[in-house]
Structure 1
Amino acid sequence: MMIAGLIWAGLGLAGCQTIPRYDQGPPAFYDGVETRLLDDDLVNFIVQMSGAATTSNVEDYAKCAAAQYALIRGYGFARHVRTNVYEEGGIWRGDAVYTISPSLPLGSQTIDAEVIVAACQDNGIPTV
């Protein structure tokens, strides 16, 4: 069953941390991203994919969406708050929350949006 309001994309995404290449094993399909603004700088990303090898694949997809979203909103950085990943019948879903900001936020799980979007493109992971 598809998540209502999904934005279907066929691009590639990646996150600020090192993103593994997915050129080994079965192909991954990035089935869409739903973006929910929770507050001015707090955003929820619901991602769906099939063919994921690990939960890290789904987490990277969400990270790529967060990085692109930050750039779209005119911000350069994001900070990971949490990601929950689950799989059912070969369909993987991720529920991630990020804060976005114009300057480097405090915390250990921060990402530089431009760097992550470039890595996502290099690795074939879609962005918003």
Structure 2
Amino acid sequence: MILPFALGACVEPVPTAEDFIPEYKGVETVLLDGDLVQFNVAMTKALSRADVADYAECAAAQYTLIRGYGFARHVRTNVAEEAGIFRGDAVYTISPSLPRGLKTIDAEVVAAECFERGIPTV
């Protein structure tokens, strides 16, 4: 005989909006060499690896402004997930003028976009 309460234990809970709102767990910045900076970020409930990369980019933009520079160039981003925690390790160069390369950011513009999207910065 199967008891009614035993069947309820097998039912998946219905997702709520909170299940899809990222939780940002912090940023660690490491100055590697002069204008080369590493950003280590952690978050939960990321919908994709791009969410983690966006978080790192937001940190890079604000850090660039804090240092008195206006631009950054993306070097690389590694993303890993373990036990529901997404970790990103991103490296950027920062500079007062627009650097050469394809993956450059205007720190002021990106920081403003991050604020509008609710993504925290440094």
> TM tier, shorter chain?
0.7 to 0.9
Higher relative contact order (CA 8 A, sep 6+): 1
Distance 2:19 2:110 in 1: 23
Query: CA, structure 1 residues 24+114, in 2 after alignment: closer, same or farther (shift >3 Å)?
Result: farther
- Give me the TM-score of the superposition, normalised by structure 1: 0.81
2:22 aligned partner: 28
Distance 2:56 2:120 in 1: 9
Residue 125 in 1 paired to residue 95 in 2? Answer: no
Q: Which runs of 5+ in 2 are unaligned?
A: 1-16
Q: Secondary structure at the match of 1:52?
A: coil
Distance 1:109 1:99 in 2: 11
- Of residues 8, 26, 39 in structure 2, which corresponds to 1:45? 39
Deviating beyond 3 angstroms after TM superposition, the runs of 4 or more aligned structure 1 residues are: none
- Of residues 40, 47, 56 in structure 1, which corresponds to 2:50? 56
Greater helix percent: which structure?
2
Over the matched positions of the two proteins, sequence identity in percent amounts to 67
Q: Which runs of 5+ in 1 are unaligned?
A: 1-22
Query: How far 1:101 sits from its partner (Å)?
Result: 0.1
Query: CA, structure 1 residues 25+115, in 2 after alignment: closer, same or farther (shift >3 Å)?
Result: farther
Q: Secondary structure at the match of 1:38?
A: strand
1:34 is aligned with what amino acid? E
Q: For residues 95-123 of structure 1, what are the alpha-carbon distances to aligned partners after superposition, in whole Å with 9 as ceiling and x for unaligned? A: 00000000000000000000000000000
Q: For residues 37-61 of structure 1, what are the alpha-carbon distances to aligned partners after superposition, in whole Å with 9 as ceiling and x for unaligned? A: 0011000000000000000000000
- Of residues 98, 103, 120 in structure 2, which corresponds to 1:109? 103
Larger Rg: 2
Q: Aligned residue pairs: how many?
A: 106
- Give me the TM-score of the superposition, normalised by structure 2: 0.85
Distance 1:24 1:110 in 2: 33
